Chain A
Amino acid sequence: MSDRILRLQHVQVRVPDLELCTAYYTEVVGLVETAHSDGRVFLKCWDEHEHHSVVLRQAPTYGLDHMSFKVAELGDLDYYTERVEGAGIAVKRYARGELGPGWGEAIRFEAPSGHTVELVFGMAKVGNMLPLFNPPPRPGNLIGIAPPRLDHIFIMAEDVELATAFFTEILEFRLTEQIVANDGHQLATWLERSHTPHDIAIVTGPNGALHHFAFWLDDWNAVREAADLLAFNGVTIDIAPTRHGATRGYTMYFFDPVGNRNEVFTGGYWVDPDFEPITWTEEEMGKAMFYYAGQVNERFFTVHS
């Protein structure tokens, strides 16, 4: 039996200035450009084996085009097509390569929160930046922050419970943590497929909105070094290096040149499939988001793309 959805494969975001954003994502974040075609730039992190994990698309506005999750087997596309259509949601299928360079076979549909979700199988493999024989632990010529891989995405939804139910019941994500309001409804949820605290999280806000996407770093020291690099390059830091209560992760939030929020993230914990979810109450929401500060600034909840 298949492992089904494995992890976040890529995000595609809109940018009104493709050149500026390409410079930022390659020189400051330190991703590698793998293709450039028809108003889109394709980027990957150094340790990723597949063609892209971030796609920038030239557009008049900023924001999220879609998010894509990798499935383990081709048959998983049929499996999820049936489940999503069974929930009354239309599914479109795309042949290998139809959606762009390096793209695998894919299905797309709209989540109840208005986000386009893609599931993909068979992305082109371009290899990480290390040889398969006697590799050093990291490449020697990295620039910028150079995270090894994309980690997770955080989106907004008017009805967090409805969106969460779609991801858990139809797409079989598992709930690891939630913030529950005093009246009992979910303010935010963290969901996983990859035995980590989250592959996607959902917080109350406008439908279709992107709160941020996050890159993995190896440890807290790498988060501090990333902060040095961002400050040196004049990047707007939204939340300086700190710790989450929810997920336990170490984090820093910052904005790309057109206002899409990025995060670098490390830490967390291992999650078995029968993990009992953690619940945060509304009073402790500040600690859940930022454990040291114990409070959330207005910008963090109101600014999105």
Chain B
Amino acid sequence: MGVLRLAHVDVRTPDLELSTAYYTEVLGLSVAARTDDAVYLKCWDEENHHSVRLRYDSRTGLDLFSFRVEREDDLDELENSLTAYGCQVRRLARGEAVGQGESIRFVIPSGQTMELVWDLDKTGNILGKHNPSPVPPPDLPGIAPPRLDHMLIQAEEVGESYTFFRDVLGFRMTEQVIDANGHQMGVWLERSHSPHDIAIVNGPNGALHHFAFWLDDWDQVRKAADILAFNGVQIDQGPTRHGITRGNTIYFFDPLGIRNEVFTGGYKPDPDFPAITWTEDQFGRGLFYYENVVSQRFLRMHT
């Protein structure tokens, strides 16, 4: 019950055509809908309308991120918790946002706008429900990840954000990084029995660090790196392995500077999973287990 998984990430781009070309031809998402100023994209295995929205704006950055809840009546329950916490909650009716029905929106303590939604339009994956092939057609362009996986945002007060996600939205912490004074520098939080659906690291309020697509295995990560390099995409880090989450990863930038990730691996935490703690002196291994470096670009660049 409650929050189920990340549903979509809505970002701004100053060059909608260029960004659309990158997300469709290099990443390999498909266009689900277009409006005057926005393009809606989805991964091939996703059953709902879209998982990424690109909106034209003079500046790049995050509009909002949206999580799906498990049951329709979870929206009311979570709205009550949010109101009790002191959030201003705005309810959107069907028709106010493309590809979905009723939702609630609010600003979280670190300044990002978050949405909760249950009623996502069902458009089906690329395979169908009748004797489906286990793989998509071989002519899909680009990396073609099956689905959106998680996102990482930044917050000036990580501890406050963690308390909010835990107490108000019911997220569970899988891992954390603690500095020498005992303050949380980063937290990894889940609802979907994976290492993270959202992570929060220290940085400016309102910032988006990256959003990540799932790949099936390390071999797919290697192939993705080939595709990125071939297309001249700037790779930020990897392919490599995280200490935190244990995932295999590559970070790279879309043409307007939004960081993307492809991710696989991890583990399957139960709700009573004992959280893992990383100390500041081991933060390099936590981030990139093979390199063991705390990359300044990785920590400082965001949108």
Contacts and interface: CB of A to CB of B under 8 A. Distances in A.
Interface of A: 1-3, 6-7, 47, 49, 70, 72, 125, 127, 132-138, 148-149, 194-195, 216, 218-221, 243-245, 248, 266-267, 269-270, 272-273, 275-281, 284, 287-288, 291
Contacts of A134: 243, 277-279, 282, 285-286
Contact of A278 (B132, B274, B277): B132
A137 B241 contact: yes
B134 A245 contact: yes
B56 interface: no
B216 interface: yes
Nearest to B285: A134
Given A3-B1, A132-B274, A137-B289, A279 B279 contact: no
Given A132-B275, A132-B276, A195-B193, A277 B134 contact: no
B243 A276 contact: no
Contacts of A280: 131
A80 B1 CA distance: 17
B229 to A, nearest CB: 22
The dominant DSSP class at the B interface is loop
Interface string B130-150: 111111000000000011000
Contacts of B242: 137
A276 B47 contact: yes
Given A219-B264, A269-B45, A281-B131, 13 more contacts: A1-B1, A72-B271, A133-B279, A135-B276, A194-B268, A195-B193, A219-B217, A219-B219, A248-B134, A270-B5, A273-B71, A278-B130, A279-B131
23 contacts: A7-B268, A7-B270, A125-B274, A132-B275, A132-B276, A132-B277, A134-B277, A134-B278, A134-B286, A135-B243, A136-B243, A137-B246, A194-B193, A194-B268, A195-B192, A218-B265, A243-B134, A244-B134, A245-B133, A269-B146, A270-B147, A272-B5, A291-B134
B85 interface: no
A220 B135 CA distance: 14
A218 B241 CA distance: 13
Contacts of B241: 137
Interface in B160-205: 192-193
Contact of A6 (B68, B271, B289): B271
Nearest to B128: A278
Contacts of B216: 219, 267
Contacts of B214: 270
Describe A's contact surface by its main secondary structure.
loop
Contacts, number: 107
Report the contact-size class of chain B (Cβ under 8 Å from the partner). Answer: 35 or more
Contacts of A149: 268
A304 to B, nearest CB: 25
Nearest to B216: A267
Closest 7 CB pairs of A and B: A219-B217, A248-B134, A137-B246, A134-B282, A284-B131, A1-B1, A278-B129
Contacts of B276: 132-133, 135
B267 interface: yes
Contacts of A288: 131
Contacts of B218: 219, 221
B267 to A, nearest CB: 6
Contacts of B47: 272, 275-276
B131 A148 contact: no
